[in-house]
Structure formats: structure tokens, C-alpha cells
């Protein structure tokens, strides 16, 4: 099975499609299709994610790569990768994700 998420980063104007596929050896293959050069560079360092990378944020290659490439805190791609990977790994229910459809951040101004 391949798990996919679409990330619409309205602050920067880019949309990305993320695909995660579990390999036979238990690692996770990642594909990120984005017009953003920084995201392309970010994704190049994440070829084989492990369960630790998916479930343990302080020790995650996703977090380390985010710091290496200097992605800003508003970038939603790392979160999109982790959400897709958690579905693929069975850590998040696929049926729940299908029911919820999307998650969001909403700016509130009073």
C-alpha cells in the first residue's frame, strides 16, 4: 500500500504531493513532488525512513534534515511526511484519516 498526502502551503504558495511506501525490509520509501527547490533538497536526504524516524521526533531523520536544510517553522512538509508515514506504518488509522480528510492550521485575529 502507498500512503499519500497533499500539502497546500498557502503561505509560500507551493503545493506538494507526498507518497510513502513500506519496503519489504521495514523501511519507508519517500517521494515528495514539489516545485520548491528547498523541499526537493530536503527530500533528497530522506530516502529510507525507519520507524524511529516516524515515531520518535527527537531522534527523527525528518527533524534532523529539517534543521540541516533550514526549513522554516511554518513549512508543513515535514508534518505531511510524518502523517503519511504514520498511516503507512499503521500508527494512524487509515479509515480515520479517510473520514477526517484533512487537518489544518487556522490563523485567528481578534
HEC string of 56-73 equals CHHHCHHHHHHHHHCCCC
Dihedrals phi, psi of 97, to nearest 5 degrees: -60, -40
Distance CA 78, CA 71 (A): 9
Q: Which CATH code of 3.40.50, 1.20.120, 1.10.150, 3.90.1010 fits the domain covering 2-100?
A: 3.90.1010
pTM, 2 dp: 0.92
- Per domain, the residue ranges of the chain are 2-100
Render pLDDT for 16-57 as a digit per residue (tens, 0 to 9). Answer: 999 999 999 999 999 999 999 999 999 998 988 999 999 999
Amino acid at each position: 500500500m502507498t500512503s499519500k498526502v497533499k500539502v497546500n502551503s498557502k503561505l509560500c504558495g507551493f503545493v506538494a504531493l507526498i507518497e510513502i511506501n513500506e519496503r519489504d525490509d521495514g523501511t519507508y520509501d519517500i517521494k515528495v513532488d514539489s516545485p520548491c527547490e528547498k523541499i526537493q533538497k530536503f527530500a533528497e536526504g530522506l530516502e529510507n525512513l525507519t520507524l524511529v524516524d516516524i515515531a520518535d521526533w527527537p531522534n527523527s531523520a525528518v527533524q534532523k534534515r529539517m534543521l540541516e536544510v533550514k526549513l522554516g517553522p511554518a513549512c508543513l512538509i515535514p508534518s505531511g511526511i510524518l502523517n503519511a508515514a504514520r498511516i503507512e506504518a499503521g500508527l494512524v488509522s487509515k479509515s480515520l484519516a479517510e473520514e477526517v480528510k484533512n487537518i489544518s492550521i487556522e490563523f485567528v485575529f481578534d
